[in-house]
């Protein structure tokens, strides 16, 4: 388990079953082989936010009145609405560890070297990427501070640096909405400082959007009937996140790009070639996915979620060729992705070590597929590490 400097031990949620390719992300099966449809789960009611009355208009204190003593100063707000200490929000539901072991010997663990941001305003600043966060706000703040991207108060401190999040901000961890709030705030602060902080669409953003918009509306999953609400709960959806989800969060997530090329790096969330189904250029892919979310069709959104939930396309013998297909279509020299946890690419979880098995040890991103792919999901949900690294890597 990775702790930030000065942090107390953090209780982590166990990992989720969706690291295997779930039925709804697989090739459709014949009707006679379809499983019974899952029971829809009704959405939790969303209570309206409390409204505090303001002072009456025109009210003034009497001239001779003695002002009351000043109230004690409230505690300083935690950056991004983080959960303080070990207390978890109401409705936080950890999930089971039952993921398969994928033993691979073709990945390389890479330590990264932190370099100070250049001071020139005429050239672009250093490029950083962030792997899957999944609601672990405290770990995110610690990792950003370690790289000098934020200060002790969680404010942007990196000048003209460029920061990309690879998606999956919510679910599983205790404060997904706090993570989104932080990223939105850093985007404004970075822009004001001459840099930028941007984010890509992950499959869990699609899942949360679908759970909010469509709830228990049945969709055709390709392997029977499913609902976004049931899939969201199965994949670690947190009641507290849904209760705090606002229109501004939904609008922000719905407008995220899915693919971008930066300094020869093709950035995307999922290690799949399914992006090719949505366009032959980066602009086409992003426009097509935005249009799908704008049309607000449950089945169409489900098909998009299903395809971007696929994984491991770059891992096996045909992996290098799959990466080359993406690079030749969209540009770049390397693919940088999240989605599939490094511990599972390395087979370091769920081994038969018994009491000696202390869990994954992740020190940095992993390069594989003949050096063409970089995996960035450090497995924070399974006591791994939330990765924030500078590109290009220093091998």
Strand ranges (DSSP E) for the chain?
108-109, 127-130, 162-165, 196-199, 219-220, 225-226, 259-262, 265-268, 334-337, 366-368, 373-375, 388-391
User: Which pLDDT score is estimated for 346?
Assistant: 82
Cβ pair 228, 207 in contact under 8 A: yes
Strand ranges (DSSP E) for 112-168?
127-130, 162-165
Note the Cα 116 to chain centre separation in Å: 26
User: Which pLDDT score is estimated for 341?
Assistant: 95
* Beta-ladder partners of 187: none
User: Which pLDDT score is estimated for 172?
Assistant: 96
So where are the chain's domains?
97-391
Per CATH, domain 97-391 is 3.60.21.10: yes
User: Which pLDDT score is estimated for 312?
Assistant: 94
User: Which pLDDT score is estimated for 202?
Assistant: 98
User: Which pLDDT score is estimated for 34?
Assistant: 46
Strands 334-337, 373-375: pairing is: parallel
Residue-by-residue pLDDT tens, the chain, 395 positions? 333 344 444 444 444 434 455 555 555 544 444 444 444 444 444 454 544 445 444 444 444 444 555 555 554 444 554 444 455 555 555 543 333 333 444 444 454 444 444 444 568 899 999 999 999 999 999 999 999 999 999 999 999 999 999 999 999 999 999 999 999 999 999 999 999 999 999 999 999 999 999 999 999 887 777 999 999 999 999 999 999 999 999 999 999 999 999 999 999 999 999 999 999 999 999 999 999 999 999 999 999 999 999 999 999 899 999 999 999 999 999 999 999 999 888 876 644 444 444 556 888 999 999 999 999 999 999 989 999 999 999 75
Q: Bin 9: left if φ > 0, else alpha if -120 < ψ < 50, else beta.
A: beta
Cβ pair 6, 85 in contact under 8 A: no
User: What b/e string do you get for 78-113 counting C-beta neighbours within 10 Å, with b at 16 or more?
Assistant: bbbbbbeeeebbeebebbeeebeebeeeebeebebe
Query: Coil, strand, or helix at residue 340?
Result: coil
103 preceded by a cis bond (ω within 30 of 0): no
Question: Which two structure tokens, joined as six digits, stand for 222?
Answer: 């390709």
Strands 162-165, 196-199: pairing is: parallel
């Amino acid at each position: 388990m990775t702790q930030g400097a000065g942090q107390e031990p953090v209780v982590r949620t166990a990992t989720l079953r969706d690291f295997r390719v779930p039925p709804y992300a697989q090739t459709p099966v014949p009707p006679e082989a379809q499983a019974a449809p899952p029971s829809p789960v009704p959405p939790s009611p969303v209570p309206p936010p409390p409204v505090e009355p303001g002072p009456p208009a025109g009210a003034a204190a009497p001239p001779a009145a003695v002002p009351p003593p000043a109230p004690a100063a409230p505690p300083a707000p935690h950056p991004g609405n983080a959960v303080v200490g070990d207390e978890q929000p109401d409705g936080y539901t950890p999930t089971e560890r039952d993921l398969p072991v994928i033993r691979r010997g073709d990945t390389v663990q890479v330590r990264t070297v932190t370099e100070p941001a250049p001071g020139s305003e005429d050239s672009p600043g250093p490029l950083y990427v962030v792997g899957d966060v999944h609601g672990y706000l405290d770990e995110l703040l610690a990792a950003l501070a370690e790289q000098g991207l934020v200060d002790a108060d969680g404010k942007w401190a990196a000048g003209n640096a460029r920061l990309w999040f690879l998606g999956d901000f919510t679910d599983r961890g205790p404060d997904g909405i706090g993570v989104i709030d932080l990223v939105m705030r850093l985007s404004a602060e970075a822009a004001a400082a001459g840099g930028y902080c941007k984010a890509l669409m992950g499959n869990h953003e699609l899942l949360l959007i679908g759970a909010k918009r469509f709830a228990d509306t049945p969709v055709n999953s390709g392997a029977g009937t499913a609902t976004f609400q049931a899939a969201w709960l199965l994949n670690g959806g947190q009641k507290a996140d849904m209760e705090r989800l606002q229109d501004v969060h939904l609008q922000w997530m719905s407008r995220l790009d899915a693919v971008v090329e930066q300094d020869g790096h093709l950035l995307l969330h999922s290690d799949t070639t399914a992006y090719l189904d949505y366009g032959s250029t980066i602009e086409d892919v992003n426009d097509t996915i935005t249009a799908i979310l704008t049309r607000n069709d449950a089945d169409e959104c489900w098909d998009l979620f299903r395809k971007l939930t696929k994984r491991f396309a770059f891992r096996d013998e045909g992996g290098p060729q799959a990466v080359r297909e993406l690079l030749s279509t969209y540009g770049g020299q390397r693919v940088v992705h999240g989605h599939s946890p490094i511990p599972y690419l390395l087979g370091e979880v769920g081994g038969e070590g018994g009491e000696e098995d202390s869990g994954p040890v992740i020190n940095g991103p992993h390069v594989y597929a003949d050096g063409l792919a970089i995996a960035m999901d450090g497995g924070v949900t399974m006591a791994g590490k939330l990765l924030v690294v500078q590109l290009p890597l220093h091998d």
